[in-house]
Structure 1
């Protein structure tokens, strides 16, 4: 494999991982009722900022909690500012804690979770029954 082929492969793998992470977030947001807003909530550009500097610490803590206690991110994933901004938006909407609960149910950290088919890496996005 040439250096260019390896680089191309690495870029494709990174893009695929990013799509998977985005789809996981999209799945949880849709389950929380943000079907119409999901794309705008996940849309982050160079001009996007934290809405309130007071939320920065809370957003960072929530993002770390998501990374440590769920499988919404792959194990080797480096947390990015993109999802810090998304969590900030969820805090502003008072939906961050509910997002964490839903992500914990949909993407539990435990491996070997019953219901996983052979070769399946995660649970499919399924509706969570109402209490």
Structure 2
């Protein structure tokens, strides 16, 4: 009888340790998700501010809205949009250092090109979010910026 109670106690202790370990892992994961959402929100707010400065107060949210059904307005603009997005990433701090460029902002830049506002957007982004000296533009260990997985036209 005594041996059985010891086994049960040891089993319960093990379960508590496993539960605590899972809880810690869940908390870390939850924090990482929260942090990523905050970063995404900050990047989106930066883009919104610049769009509003350009005069797109009413259209800012729709310009930033990207869904699975969103497409490039003109295949001729794909290369120009990609180049402009890379230029924004390299020459401004509109994106965090470790940010991987996404299709979302490629589509937004494409829309700006179609509206003939991409160059002005870049000028405002450069003034508002200049690349800060001494802060690397690449994440630690990163050799180059992440390029977008889109074929050249």
TM-score normalised by the chain length of structure 1: 0.83
Q: How far has the Cα of 1:110 moved from its partner?
A: 1.9
Deviation of 1:49 after TM superposition, in Å, equals: 0.7
Which residue matches 2:83?
61
- Distance (whole Å) between structure 2 residues aligned to residue 106 and residue 27 of structure 1: 10
Residue 31 of structure 1 is matched in structure 2 by 53
Among candidates 68, 76, 93, match of residue 46 of structure 1 = 68
The equivalent of 1:89 in structure 2 is 111
Taking only aligned residues, the RMSD between alpha carbons, in angstroms, comes to 1.1
Match of 2:149 in 1: none
- Structure 1 residue runs without a partner (length 5+): 113-131
Instruction: Write the distance in 1 (CA, Å) between the matches of 2:68 and 2:27.
Output: 30
Tell me the number of residue pairs that the alignment of Structure 1 and Structure 2 aligns.
112
Shift of 1:44: 0.3
1:102 aligns with 2:124: yes
Alignment of 1:109-124 (within 5 A): 109-111=131-133
Q: Comparing both chains, which one has the higher relative contact order based on Cα–Cα distances under 8 Å and sequence gaps of 6 or more?
A: 1
Q: Aligned residue for 2:94?
A: 72
Choose between structure 1 and 2: higher helix proportion.
Answer: 2
Q: Where has structure 1 moved over 6 Å in runs of 4 or more? A: none
Larger Rg: 2
Deviations 1:99-122 (A, max 9, x none): 00000000000248xxxxxxxxxx
Q: Counterparts of 1:49 and 1:62 in 2: how far apart (Å)?
A: 17
